[in-house]
Amino acid sequence: MKKIVNSLIVIAFTLVVWQALAWLINSPIVPSPWLVIANLITSLGDKLPQHIGMSALRVTASSFFALLIGVPLGIAIGYKASWDRVLSPFIYLSYPIPKLALLPIIMLLFGLGEISKTLMIFLIIFFPIVVDCAGAVKAMDKEVFMVLRAFGAGGKYICAKIVAPGIIPDILVSLKITTGIALSILFFAENFGTQTGLGYLIMTSWQKLDYVNLYTGILTLSLLGLAIFLILDILEKKLTAWK
Amino acid sequence: MLSLKNVSMGYDEKALLKNVNIDFAENRIYALLGKSGSGKSTLLKGISNILPHMGEITLKDKPLNVKKQRLALVPQKNSLVKWQTVRQNILLPHKLRKEVAPQNLEELCAELGIAHLLDKYPGHLSGGEQQRAAIATALLFQPDILLLDEAFSALDAITKDEVHTAFLNAITKHKVTTVFVTHDIDEALYLAESIIILKNGNLLENMENPLFGITKQEKPLAYSKSHQEIKELI
């Protein structure tokens, strides 16, 4: 209850500041929040759900593939010293490269379609997932592994049944951290080769000097981020009760 | 029962255990005593398949194989899976072997004083309760051999006394061949039927313990004498 009240206070404060700025600047560049909210509600009956759906799909697909490849790879690096020795140099060398710098190469290789967009966001999420998973596994109590090995468990069983569920809290934290960056990259990625997505909506509204729609896009992108955070919070509560 | 013939092991080509020969009889409780670096924990890690070894280790006249035979290990701490409840932890060895667990889980946990903690997570338990849960896990597995590596050393004095008593009652009732590593001479005198002393990676002494199951308070003089004798050997 307290959390809801606090959230409402923050929202009210943001709207008041926004409205004050709109009055102060008194220009179409900063429209009133009520105009934007009204436009958002009206647009829900138009193309906005399609833009939200495509943006959400791109982030979800990228996150899915990043988890699918990143989690097992991170576990392998964290659990087996030999994998760590071979793969860590590659990861540490690739991780610091600004992923936006790879955008032209990815576009040349995969075109302007969905693969390029998904791959860009994937690259943003993938490396932190691998590094965080490997670190979480290395930090686990090794005594548990010793005990299970004595009971007859093999490495595959330990990794799949003990390690993977044990690092869920770290995976969720990693996803929370990367969500913000992933949404920024999504905005960039939706600026080329598409007519759907919140990034496209924001940029075309800017080109048309349609500031109300521009702010509607920004607000929706922010709400999409909030929805992702809320989903991750619910998952955290459900999956990490043991903490 | 468990037999070690010319067993050597160590880390990075440095032998911590040199040509050790020991026969552990069935249903007896053994203490492995020695100073730090004497090779006692190394020996336990070799038996429990954590460290490679040279020489021959057989269990019931067959080469030791942790996947085919039944072995349980209780380390000093952190042996429980944190995200599973105590009940799930205790049943885990049976689950991994795809076996039906014995029906006496509740009874065994009552003997060890943890029946009320079965649905709690390890993070919500004290150190003593965690060790009792680890012992329950090992005992429900009905191992051919139970190994404990300084399993009581992280506990405070009062908790240690309580866990000692619960452990001894459970072990004698369930008749499990037990080898426990300790550096605490009084702990070895109370809990072990035989005391094996290791020094610099070699077997120094394998002696019967007449004070087994007798507390220090019951026979302080005998304890003091045996303590001194062992201390001189170590």
With a pLDDT cut of 90, the percent of chain A lying above it is 77
**Domain ranges (residues) in chain A:** 1-30, 32-239
Q: DSSP secondary-structure letter at A195?
A: S
Calculate mean pLDDT across residues B99-109: 90
A150–B78 CB contact, under 8 Å: no
DSSP string, chain B: -EEEEEEEEEETTEEEEEEEEEEEPTT-EEEEE--TTSSHHHHHHHHTTSS--EEEEEETTEE--TTTS-EEEE-SS--S-TTS-HHHHHHHHHHHTT-PPPTTHHHHHHHTT-GGGTTS-GGGS-HHHHHHHHHHHHHHT--SEEEEESTTTTS-HHHHHHHHHHHHHHHHHHT-EEEEEES-HHHHHHH-SEEEEEETTEEEEEEE-TTTT--TTT-HHHHHHHHHHHHHH-
Q: Check CB contact of B92 with chain A, cutoff 8 Å.
A: yes
Give the span between the Cα atoms of B9 and B20, in whole angstroms: 10
pLDDT of residue B45: 87
Q: Which has more pLDDT, A215 or A101?
A: A215
**CATH node for A32-239:** 1.10.3720.10
Maximum average pLDDT range among A93-102, A222-231, B194-203: A222-231
A152–B80 CB contact, under 8 Å: no
Determine contact, residues B75/B149, Cβ cutoff 8 Å. Answer: yes
A242–B74 CB contact, under 8 Å: no
pLDDT of residue A125: 92
Angle at B214 between CA B208 and CA B220, to 5 degrees: 100
The shortest CB-CB distance from B72 to any of A151, A157, A165 is to A151
On chain B, the residues whose CB falls within 8 A of the CB of A238 are none
Instruction: Name the β-bridge partners of B63.
Output: B58
B71–A150 CB contact, under 8 Å: yes
Test the B interface: residue of A140, A145, A151, A240 with most B CBs within 10 Å: A151
Q: Check CB contact of B105 with chain A, cutoff 8 Å.
A: no
A152–B97 CB contact, under 8 Å: yes
Query: pLDDT tens digit string along A134-166?
Result: 999 999 999 999 999 999 999 999 999 999 999
pLDDT category at B13 given cuts 50, 70, 90 is low
pLDDT of residue B65: 87
Q: Check CB contact of B147 with chain A, cutoff 8 Å.
A: yes
Q: Check CB contact of A57 with chain B, cutoff 8 Å.
A: no
The pTM (predicted TM-score) of the whole model is 0.85
Calculate mean pLDDT across residues B167-190: 91
pLDDT of residue B78: 85
Q: What is the mean pLDDT of chain B?
A: 89
- Give the range among A218-222, B37-41, B99-103, B139-143 with minimum mean pLDDT: B37-41
pLDDT of residue B199: 86
> CATH class for domain B2-233?
alpha beta
Cα A159 to Cα A39, A82, B44: the distances in Å are 50, 15, 24
pLDDT category at B156 given cuts 50, 70, 90 is confident
The shortest CB-CB distance from B81 to any of A149, A162, A243 is to A162
Q: What is the mean pLDDT of chain A?
A: 92
Residues 6 or more apart from B13 whose CB is under 8 A from it?
Answer: none
pLDDT category at A70 given cuts 50, 70, 90 is very high
Calculate mean pLDDT across residues A62-90: 95
Using the predicted structure, report yes or no on whether residue A197 has a pLDDT greater than 90: yes
pLDDT of residue B12: 64
With a pLDDT cut of 70, the percent of chain A lying above it is 100
pLDDT of residue A25: 93
A144–B78 CB contact, under 8 Å: yes
- Give the range among A73-77, A222-226, B162-166, B200-204 with minimum mean pLDDT: B200-204
Residues 6 or more apart from B100 whose CB is under 8 A from it?
Answer: B94
Calculate mean pLDDT across residues A98-124: 90
Give the span between the Cα atoms of B87 and B84, in whole angstroms: 8
Using the predicted structure, report yes or no on whether residue B85 has a pLDDT greater than 80: yes
What is residue A97's three-state secondary structure?
Answer: coil
Using the predicted structure, report yes or no on whether residue B77 has a pLDDT greater than 90: no
What is residue A20's three-state secondary structure?
Answer: helix
Using the predicted structure, report yes or no on whether residue B54 has a pLDDT greater than 90: no
Using the predicted structure, report yes or no on whether residue B123 has a pLDDT greater than 70: yes
B76–A153 CB contact, under 8 Å: no
ipTM over 0.85: yes
DSSP string, B204-223: EEEEE-TTTT--TTT-HHHH
Calculate mean pLDDT across residues A204-216: 94
- For chain B, the maximum distance between any two Cα atoms, rounded to a whole number of angstroms, is 50
Q: Check CB contact of B154 with chain A, cutoff 8 Å.
A: no
* Among A residues 142-161, those touching chain B with beta carbons less than 8 Å apart: 143-144, 146-154, 157, 161
Calculate mean pLDDT across residues A22-42: 94
Calculate mean pLDDT across residues B173-192: 92
Give the span between the Cα atoms of B112 and A18, in whole angstroms: 63
Determine contact, residues A225/A184, Cβ cutoff 8 Å. Answer: no
Test the B interface: residue of A147, A149, A171, A239 with most B CBs within 10 Å: A147
Using the predicted structure, report yes or no on whether residue A119 has a pLDDT greater than 90: yes
Rg (CA), chain A: 22
